């Protein structure tokens, strides 16, 4: 469903304005922009919960101020995430009416549960946290932070349950009229695609985003010589949690993701690894350019037999190439899947390396805070996890094409038949304009909070007291 990268761009430039292609652009663009906010919030709320736990144990005002500061950044991201998520719900009807008609009986209930249970829990306790903290004290703050964390990750669970079904349909039955119905609710919610790798991979990716954001802002405060105590704390917490999250993303979560793709979607595996010819003892291409004309990897730097081992834990196992499948079943943009996958993997190893190095400097007598070059690296790195998570999503969804529900329903057959190309161009332009305004608004708010710093509220209180005296 999500836009499939440069192939779609090329198609548009060549005049390929089929409505369903624009439907993918609109829905995919909406989803990518929307996910910038939840991925930050799902990661940062875990760190806020840890800070609240420290506050509960020590009752130090320092931790309360630190948590308040990050909740102020969390709250506008939550609002924009909610606002940009609403069009996605409507998009199932406006853009993908055929898909919704056929599969609504399977996925509708879970989408509703996300709103009724998880989103309600998260939004209700966010309000209690912000407006009721003086009334409920340290325990109230801690419980609220925990509830927000559960609600935020619960939303991810329900949404990913739907996506897991689209990647690996289970628990359904076909009705005589061709529509699908939910047959086994728990089989749907406990989809092995979700539990074997996807849920852990996505949530851990969000934690990495939050860790880099907190460490990066902390590095900024340390380098600029203001709010240094908070800066050192933010760097320490971001690096300590981030080193574990980054290493676990490589193994076991990233490894489990690749193995599941090998078993359930071998065409996607062939595309993301650039394997055109089926072979035993397949090498893993470290670097190389993909050529669709020659149907091979040009100038490859390979590790012999390593792909067979990674995919099936057997150095001589048989890896199916794209030649094993009809071309009509290939992803519609194989080069993007290949390069997108490698970009995600490269960034994943880069994150692990950066966090390990920062952690070693931190353990080495706190040298991290004297290593300005490392602080500069941390300060400039927060955008990278957003890129990695976005590229990973596009790769996963583009690699699933041509299916909107894998093996059941093609994307080209799922779009709304009555929504014309002109309407799609108009609403796409409007959506981009609204997103630009939201981005500007969020940037102004967050930059203002960063400029004020964690102590801003207390300084204002002091000024008010002084004036009053």
Per-residue pLDDT reduced to its tens digit, 211-269: 999 999 999 999 999 999 999 999 999 999 999 999 999 999 999 988 899 999 999 99
Whole-number Å distance between alpha carbons of 349 and 347 = 5
Evaluate the CA torsion angle 383, 387, 390, 396 in order and state its sign. Answer: negative
466 burial via Cβ count (<10 Å: 0-12, 13-18, 19+): exposed
Look at residue 10 and tell me whether its pLDDT is greater than 80.
no
253, 204 contact by CB (below 8 A)? yes
449, 230 contact by CB (below 8 A)? no
Please, which pLDDT band fits residue 463 given cuts at 50, 70 and 90?
very low
Whole-number Å distance between alpha carbons of 282 and 276 = 11
For the range 308-312, what are the long-range contacts, defined as Cβ-Cβ under 8 Å and sequence gap of 24 or more?
Answer: 308/280, 308/281, 308/282, 310/255, 310/258, 310/259, 310/284, 311/258, 311/259, 311/262, 311/269, 311/282, 312/259, 312/262
SS3 call for 406: coil
216, 43 contact by CB (below 8 A)? no
For the range 296-305, what are the long-range contacts, defined as Cβ-Cβ under 8 Å and sequence gap of 24 or more?
Answer: 305/281
pLDDT in tens, 58-102: 999 999 999 999 999 999 999 999 999 999 988 998 899 999 999
Look at residue 11 and tell me whether its pLDDT is greater than 70.
no
pLDDT in tens, 275-305: 999 999 999 999 999 999 999 999 999 999 9
Given 3-state DSSP classes, what are the helix, strand and coil percentages for the chain, each rounded to the nearest 5?
Answer: 75, 5, 15
466 Cβ partners below 8 Å, 6+ apart? none
453 burial via Cβ count (<10 Å: 0-12, 13-18, 19+): middle
23, 416 contact by CB (below 8 A)? yes
What integer is the mean pLDDT of 197-203? 94
271, 331 contact by CB (below 8 A)? yes
What's this model's pTM, rounded to 2 decimal places? 0.92
SS3 call for 69: helix
Q: If we measure between CA atoms, which residue out of 200, 247, 242 comes closest to residue 50?
A: 242
């Amino acid at each position: 469903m999500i836009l499939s990268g440069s192939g779609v761009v090329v198609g548009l430039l060549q005049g390929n304005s089929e409505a369903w292609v624009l439907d993918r652009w609109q829905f995919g663009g909406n989803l990518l922009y929307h996910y910038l906010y939840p991925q930050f919030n799902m990661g940062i709320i875990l760190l806020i919960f840890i800070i609240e736990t420290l506050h509960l144990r020590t009752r130090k005002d320092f931790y309360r101020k630190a948590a308040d500061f990050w909740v102020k950044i969390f709250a506008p991201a939550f609002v924009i995430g909610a606002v940009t998520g609403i069009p996605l719900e409507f998009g199932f009807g406006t853009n993908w009416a055929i898909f919704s008609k056929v599969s609504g009986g399977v996925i509708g209930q879970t989408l509703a549960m996300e709103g009724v249970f998880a989103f309600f829990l998260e939004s209700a306790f966010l309000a209690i946290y912000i407006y009721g903290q003086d009334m409920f004290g340290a325990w109230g703050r801690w419980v609220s932070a925990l509830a927000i964390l559960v609600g935020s990750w619960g939303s991810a669970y329900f949404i990913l349950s739907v996506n897991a079904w689209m990647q690996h349909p289970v628990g359904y039955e076909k009705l005589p009229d061709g529509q699908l119905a939910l047959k086994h609710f728990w089989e749907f919610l406990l989809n092995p695609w979700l539990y074997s790798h996807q849920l852990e991979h996505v949530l851990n990716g969000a934690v990495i985003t939050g860790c880099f954001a907190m460490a990066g802002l902390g590095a900024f405060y340390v380098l600029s010589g203001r709010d240094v105590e908070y800066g050192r704390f933010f760097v320490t917490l971001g690096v300590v949690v981030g080193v574990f999250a980054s290493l676990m993303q490589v193994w076991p979560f990233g490894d489990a993701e690749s193995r599941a793709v090998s078993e359930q979607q071998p065409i996607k595996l062939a595309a993301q690894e650039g394997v055109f010819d089926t072979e035993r003892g397949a090498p893993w291409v470290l670097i190389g350019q993909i050529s669709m004309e020659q149907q091979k990897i040009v100038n490859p730097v390979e590790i012999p037999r390593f792909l067979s081992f990674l995919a099936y834990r057997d150095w001589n196992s048989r890896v199916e190439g794209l030649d094993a499948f009809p071309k009509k079943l290939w992803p519609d943009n194989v080069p993007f899947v290949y390069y997108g996958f490698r970009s995600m993997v490269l960034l994943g190893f880069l994150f692990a390396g950066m966090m390990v190095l920062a952690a070693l400097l931190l353990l080495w007598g706190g040298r991290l805070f004297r290593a300005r070059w490392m602080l500069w690296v941390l300060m400039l790195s927060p955008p990278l996890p957003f890129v990695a998570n976005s590229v990973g999503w596009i790769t996963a969804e583009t690699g699933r094409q041509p299916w909107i529900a894998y093996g059941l329903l093609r994307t080209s057959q799922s779009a709304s038949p009555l929504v014309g190309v002109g309407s799609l161009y108009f609403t796409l332009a409007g959506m981009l304009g609204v997103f630009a305004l939201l981005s500007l608004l969020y940037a102004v708010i967050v930059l203002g909070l960063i400029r004020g710093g964690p102590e801003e509220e207390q300084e204002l209180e002091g000024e008010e007291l002084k004036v009053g005296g």
